[in-house]
Amino acid sequence: LHRLIRRQRQMCIRDSSYAKPKLKFAVECSGGTYIRSLAFEMGKTLGVGAHLSSLRRLSIGGWRISDAFGMDFLNSADRKNVLARLIKVSEMPEI
For the segment 68-84, the average pLDDT, to the nearest whole number, is: 88
CB 64 within 8 A of CB 58: yes
Output Rg (C-alpha) for the chain, integer angstroms.
Answer: 18
- Read off the pLDDT of residues 4-57 as tens digits, 9 standing for 90 and up: 665 645 789 999 999 999 999 999 988 888 999 999 999 999 999 899 999 999
Per-residue pLDDT, 53: 94
Residue (of 13, 37, 42, 36) closest to 25 by Cα position? 13
CA nearest 29: which of 15, 12, 17, 43?
12
Nearest alpha-carbon partner for 14 in 1, 27, 33 = 27
Kindly indicate the confidence band of residue 83, based on its pLDDT and cuts at 50, 70 and 90.
confident
Q: What is the pLDDT of residue 56?
A: 93
